[in-house]
Every structure is written in structure tokens, then in C-alpha cells.
Amino acid sequence: MSKLISLQKKYDSILTLYDKYLALVQKEPNNYSHKMSFATIEKHVKELQLKIYKEKAAREKEVIELKLNVLPAYSGTLPLQLLGEIAGHLSWAVLSASQKIKEGDRLKGKIPHDIVQSLDLRFAGLSAGSSKIYLTGNVSPDLFGNSLIEDALEKIFTLLNSGDSEKLTESASAIGIRSVIKISKLLKSIAGAELDMEVAWYSPLDKHYGWKSTKDEMICLSNSLDKIKASEPEIIDVEAKLIMASLKGYFEIETMKRRSYRGAIPSRILGEIQAVHLGDICRVKIEKKMMINQVTEFEKAYYTLLEIKAITNS
């Protein structure tokens, strides 16, 4: 077992205790035993975050491999236009997914320069026979040990391996509609060249992520992705009680009218939300977006936390 895998297992385990004792401390702020236990756990969490950060930073690069069933007519080469389309669509799919994870859907237009620079996606070359294309991107972990490219690739592979339309729609919500469009274009480019494809990536935790598809399967998936639409985001601005805020990136609030909202916390505000206590009455701004599968008529609302500021302590 690698050092990073061991650290991640410890971190996942301690996060469960962190959430448990955070809730106890905020429910009984004068309980000395709870406070001491939580202080010890919080220190351990920060130590593990730093160790994970160092291990991932030492890894430096993530490598994505695309293996194509190259036609004999290519004679050991690959058309430059096709190569450009593949590299371009894949890189923008990863960048768009990374933006969704970091910022939510609040930004439109160009991908922010800091994300492009941080990931530094590059075409790393072709293997012998030109059947394998390699792209690399920087790991660039934050101080919580989270890596944008790692999170983006995990979610993209989840989408590619979605078994039904409902899971496909839910996976699409995790990476955002712009990334979905780029993945669809990637599949069309490869299928249009009469090629089959395999794509693979080994995560920092040595987990193999892969997807293998024929030309016809890529066309089918691309058509399915084209039928997934996203509504314009609706901003909900309310006073609410913070029920849950996990370092794993999820929140839950309850409004004064007893309406509950659950959703994702963009990585950019993971640090800020720790200043808010469970049970606090807060001014909360969340984004609601409907994902709709036009084939099955399955639709679901997804919520992303944009801003939260404590008004009073309960």
C-alpha cells in the first residue's frame, strides 16, 4: 500500500469523527470533554491535510492515456486535424469540469486564467505506432489536499461509465453542461474518424479509471449527452440555519419556513465555511440548476453553495 493511500484512508476515517464532534461541540459549547476531543481531532485533520498535500504535490503530473484503434490507412501516423480535435476537446472538458468543481456554475465565458495556469494541460506525445495519445496536467493540490484535475477526472470517468440515463444526468450535473458538450464533441470526432477508443488514468490512490468504447457506442453516448440540457441558474437568497457543512464538499441548510436544501460546496469556499458554526442563522446564497434528460424526461434540481455568512449564533 502506498503512503498516499494509507494517508487517505486515515483522512477519510478521521473526517467522520470530525463531523461528529463538530456537531457535538456546537450543540454543547460548554462541554469540556467534547471540546478537548474535537481540538485533538481538528489538529489531526490539519496534519493529515498537510501530509496529503505534500504527497500529491510530489506526484506533480496526472497522465491521461487515449488508445485509438488506428486505421491501416494512417500508416503509423495520425491526421493533425484529428489530433488537435481530440486534445482540444479533452482538455476543455477537463478545464470546464474543474471550473464547475471550484466555482459552481456562476461563471460564464472563458475559463479563468488561474484554473488554466494551475492545471497546465499539455499534449505529451504519441506512443510508437501513434495509437496512444498522452495528455498531462498538474496535480496542484490545495491546502486541503484536494486536486482539481483529480476531482475532474474522477467525475468525467463516472459519467463515461454511467449505466443508465438517470445516472448519466446526475453525472452531467457534477461536471457541468459545458464539460458535457466537450465530451460529446470528443466522442463525435473519434467516431467520425471510424476509430474505437480506450481512455485510462491511474489516480494518485493507484485506482485505475478506464473506459472502452466502439465507434457505434461512442455515437450512442454522444447522442445521449446531447439530450441533456441545463436550465439557466436560479439564485436563491435566504436566511437559513446551517445544518451540515462537510469538508467532503457537501452542505445542508434549513430556511425559516422549514425548507431544506442540500448540495455541493465549491472548493473555493471550503476554507470560508469553517468560520460558520452548525446551527448558526446565516445569510445564504445558493444556486439552483435543473438538469433535464429530454429522452427520458428525467429532471432533477441541483444546488451549489455560493455564499454564506453568519447573522447570529443559535
CATH node for 234-312? 2.40.50.140
- pLDDT score of 216: 94
d(CA 132, CA 123) in angstroms, rounded, equals 12
Side-chain-side CA neighbours of 202 within 13 Å: the count stands at 4
Residue 263, amino acid: G
Distance of alpha carbon 221 from alpha carbon 190, whole angstroms: 12
For the chain, which residues make up each domain, given as ranges?
3-57, 60-227, 234-312
Rounded to the nearest 10 degrees, what angle do helices 80-103 and 177-192 cross at?
A: 160
Each of the 314 residues of the chain gets a pLDDT tens digit; together they read: 578 888 888 888 888 888 888 778 877 878 888 888 888 988 888 898 888 888 888 888 999 998 887 665 555 567 788 888 999 999 999 999 999 998 887 656 788 899 999 999 998 877 655 578 889 999 988 878 889 999 999 999 999 999 788 899 999 999 999 999 999 999 999 999 888 899 999 988 888 999 999 999 999 999 999 999 988 888 999 999 988 888 778 899 999 889 999 999 988 888 788 788 888 899 999 999 899 988 888 888 999 999 999 886 54
Total H helices, total E strands in the chain: 9, 11
235 sits in which H/E element: strand 234-246
- Is 308 within 8 Å of 283 (Cβ atoms)? yes
pLDDT for res 128:
59
Quote the pLDDT of residue 89: 94
Interatomic CA distance for residues 165 and 293, integer angstroms: 7
Topology of domain 3-57, CATH = Methane Monooxygenase Hydroxylase; Chain G, domain 1 (1.20.58)
- Residues contacting 208, CB < 8 A, separation 6+: 200, 201, 202
DSSP 86: H
